[in-house]
């Protein structure tokens, strides 16, 4: 039997999660939650003692930490795009949600702002003040000095991982990836990694992927979405517990989280991709061509030719370039004329670049396919290219043409920074 840790990057490895008995997974999760709660007690007590809070009051606050309560984790660098205080946009609603005694919810917030980021520091100060309001005491816990050790406890010990970046600013959101593989269910804006990983069964999406012109409207809609989903989906799923204190629904979400992201979002998968798609092909190219100086010299000369002559390439449409509306399953044929005054057709690749046009003008489902020569006029250096595009879904499509450099010593056509688009 291969050791599972040698196959972290493969999805099959993670499908076996289904065979873990629910009681066992839940017990493991609760152990981590207990450990986290002990840590939170210490951290919060230390902070409040420094602020000269009386012992009785500190004790009153920390004794409310409840391992059986739905626990939401929210830990971030307090960069403003992360919208650290979005959760408190409507204080009445969040008060109501946190103070349902039958279905308690507690929130752990950890943060760190850059020493020179005054705005970020103010956000933390605001959360500190909020957490000491009577209705939030013992419900919202602020942890200072977010670091990797704390992050480890949080992303393995809470039930839900919240992330509220302002779309489309989140590059990735790696903390959510780390949480997910620990069976912590994500509840996030459809941005960064979550826009790719969310599959409707492994967590929840805040808001929609609509575009906003105005930050205020965006913040209002997103925060209302947070409250609605908490009330209608997350809290009911968590508290649908059987006599053994286990919610089948919740365990399914946990397992779906682990299964759907453990392989795909692992560092192992990233490294395997780097090796297979970049390092190995580059090493092979090197061994095959770059050890011979003549090859290198010729390729350098060709590159100089490319740069000298690239601008003289002319592309003309053969058919009408207007956008086209098609039914699903249709195939369309497109063609263009390319004039290559000083470059050989062997050293270029002509491509059709197309995509579906959405109502707001955005283009989605972008694809690029190579085109083939079907006729040439050597004297005038004119070459005619065509391609068939198979459209799997109907709707309005737009397409255009481009020419890229091509050579066996070039790992990727983009690497020379030469792309000639048709000029309309
Ligand atoms: C994972 C991690 C981050 C990055 O989190 P993002 O969600 O990508 O912003 C920052 N700080 C610590 C301590 C982490 O563990």
- pLDDT of 33-67, one tens digit each? 999 999 999 999 999 999 999 999 999 999 999 99
Residue 131 confidence (pLDDT): 94
CA 383 to chain centre: 42
Instruction: Tell me how far apart the alpha carbons of residues 83 and 121 are, in angstroms, rounded to a whole number.
Output: 13
Q: What pLDDT, on the 0 to 100 scale, is given for residue 321?
A: 59
Q: Is 178 in the pocket of ligand 1 (CB under 6 A)?
A: yes
CA distances, 103 to each of 96, 143, 231, 245 (Å) = 11, 23, 10, 13
Give the residue-averaged pLDDT of 286-296.
Answer: 97
> Taking Cα atoms as reference points, which of 380, 376, 381, 398 lies closest to residue 389?
398
Domain span(s) for CATH 3.40.50.2000 in the chain? 4-262
Residue 145 beta carbon below 6 angstroms from any ligand 1 atom: no
Q: What is the CA angle 200-202-205, rounded to 5?
A: 55
DSSP string, 173-194: -HHHHHHHHTTPEEEEES-THH
- Quote the CA–CA distance of 341 and 315 in Å, as a whole number: 12
pLDDT range class, residue 115, cuts 50, 70, 90: confident
170 touches 196 (CB < 8 A): no
Q: What is the pLDDT of residues 194-251, one digit of tens each?
A: 999 999 999 999 998 888 889 999 999 999 999 999 999 999 999 999 999 999 999 9
* Strand partners for 187: 162, 204
- Evaluate if residue 363 carries a pLDDT over 90: no
pLDDT for 4 beyond 90 = no
Annotate 111-135 with DSSP letters as a single string: EE--TT-HHHHHHHHHHHHHHTSGG
Q: Please work out whether the CB of residue 148 comes within 6 Å of at least one atom of ligand 1.
A: yes
Q: Does position 360 have pLDDT exceeding 80, yes or no?
A: no
Contacts of 358 (CB under 8 A, 6+ apart): 364
Domain 4-262 architecture: 3-Layer(aba) Sandwich (3.40)
Q: What is the mean pLDDT of residues 268-282?
A: 96
pLDDT at 133: 95
Whole-Å CA distances, 354 to 346, 374, 402:
24, 21, 11
Question: How far, in Å, CA of 95 to CA of 99, rounded?
Answer: 6
User: Residue 320 — pLDDT band, cuts 50, 70, 90?
Assistant: low
Residue 99, SS3 per DSSP:
coil
Cα(172) to ligand 1 centroid in Å equals 10
Q: Are 190 and 208 in contact (CB under 8 A)?
A: yes
397 pLDDT higher than 80: yes
Position 311 scores a pLDDT of: 95
Predicted confidence (pLDDT) at residue 410 exceeds the cutoff of 90: yes
Give the SS3 label for residue 359.
Answer: coil
Q: Is the shortest distance between the CB of 146 and ligand 1 below 6 Å? A: yes
d(CA 65, CA 40) in angstroms, rounded, equals 9
DSSP string, 384-395: EEEEEEE-SS-E
Residue 395 has pLDDT above 90, yes or no: no
Q: Please tell us whether the domain made up of 310-421 is placed in CATH 3.30.70.
A: no
pLDDT at residue 298 tops 90? yes
Is residue 234 within 8 Å of 226, Cβ to Cβ?
Answer: no
The answer to whether 189 and 164 have CB atoms below 8 angstroms apart is yes
d(C-alpha 106, C-alpha 159), whole Å = 10
Query: Does the model's pTM come out above 0.85?
Result: no
Domain ranges in the chain with CATH number 2.60.40: 310-421
Q: What's the confidence (pLDDT) of residue 114?
A: 85
Q: Are 364 and 355 in contact (CB under 8 A)?
A: yes
pLDDT band at 127 (very low <50, low <70, confident <90, very high): very high
Q: How many angstroms separate the CA atoms of 223 and 227, rounded?
A: 6
In the predicted structure, residue 421 carries a pLDDT above the cut 70? yes
For the Cβ of 111 lying below 6 angstroms from any atom of ligand 1, the answer is: no
Ligand 1 contact via 172 beta carbon (within 6 Å)? yes
Percent over 70 (pLDDT), the chain: 99
Spatial contact of 191 and 207, defined as CB atoms under 8 Å apart: no
Cα radius of gyration rounded to whole Å, the chain: 28
Q: Give the pLDDT score at 364.
A: 82
Task: Answer yes or no: is the C-beta of 174 below 6 A from any ligand 1 atom.
Answer: yes
> Which has the closest alpha carbon to 208: 259, 168, 262, 256?
168
Nearest-5° Cα angle at 262, 256 to 266: 155
Distance 421 CA to ligand 1 centre (A): 40
pLDDT of residue 209: 80
Least confident range from 111-115, 269-273, 417-421: namely 111-115
- What distance in Å separates the CA atoms of residue 376 and residue 29, rounded to the nearest whole number? 67
Beta bridge partners of 403: 350, 420
Take atom 3 of ligand 1 and give the residue whose Cα is closest.
175
Six token digits for residue 243: 């006599």
pLDDT top residue among 358 and 194: 194
> What is the average pLDDT value for the chain, to the nearest integer?
94
User: In whole angstroms, what separates CA 266 from the centre of its chain?
Assistant: 13
**pLDDT given at position 322:** 66
């Amino acid at each position: 039997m291969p050791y599972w840790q040698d196959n972290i990057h493969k999805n099959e490895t993670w499908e076996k999660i289904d065979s873990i008995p629910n009681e066992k997974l839940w017990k493991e999760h609760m152990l981590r939650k207990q450990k986290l709660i002990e840590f939170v007690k210490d951290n919060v007590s230390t902070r409040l003692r420094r602020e000269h809070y009386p012992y009785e009051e500190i004790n009153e606050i920390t004794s409310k930490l409840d391992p059986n309560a739905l626990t939401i984790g929210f830990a971030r660098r307090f960069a403003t795009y992360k919208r650290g205080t979005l959760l408190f946009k409507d204080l009445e609603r969040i008060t109501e949600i946190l103070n349902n005694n039958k279905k308690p919810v507690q929130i752990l917030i950890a943060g760190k702002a850059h020493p020179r980021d005054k705005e970020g520091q103010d956000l933390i100060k605001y959360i500190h003040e909020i957490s000491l309001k009577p209705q939030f005491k013992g419900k919202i816990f602020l942890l200072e000095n977010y670091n990797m050790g704390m992050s480890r406890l949080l992303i393995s010990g809470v039930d839900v991982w919240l992330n509220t970046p302002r779309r489309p600013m989140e590059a990735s959101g790696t903390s959510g990836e780390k949480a997910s593989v620990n069976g912590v269910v994500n509840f996030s804006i459809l941005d960064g990694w979550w826009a790719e990983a969310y599959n409707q069964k492994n967590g929840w999406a805040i808001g929609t992927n609509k575009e906003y012109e105005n930050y205020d409207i965006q913040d209002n809609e997103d925060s209302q979405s947070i409250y609605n989903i908490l009330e209608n989906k997350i809290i009911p799923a968590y508290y649908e517990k059987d006599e053994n204190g286990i919610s089948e629904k919740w365990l399914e979400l946990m397992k779906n989280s682990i299964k759907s992201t453990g392989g795909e979002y692992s560092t192992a998968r990233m490294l395997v991709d780097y090796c297979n798609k970049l390092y190995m092909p580059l090493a092979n190219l090197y061994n095959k061509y770059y050890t011979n100086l003549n090859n290198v010299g010729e390729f350098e000369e060709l590159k100089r030719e490319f740069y000298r002559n690239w601008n003289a390439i002319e592309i003309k449409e053969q058919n009408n370039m207007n956008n086209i509306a098609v039914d699903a399953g249709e195939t369309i044929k497109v063609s263009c004329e390319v004039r290559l005054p000083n470059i050989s057709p062997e050293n270029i690749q002509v491509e059709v670049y197309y995509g579906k046009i959405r109502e707001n003008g955005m283009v989605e489902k972008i694809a690029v396919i190579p085109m083939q020569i079907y006729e040439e006029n050597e004297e005038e250096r004119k070459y005619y290219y065509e391609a068939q595009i198979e459209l799997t879904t109907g709707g309005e499509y737009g397409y255009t043409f481009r020419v890229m450099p091509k050579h066996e010593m070039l790992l990727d056509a983009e690497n020379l920074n030469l792309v000639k688009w048709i000029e309309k």
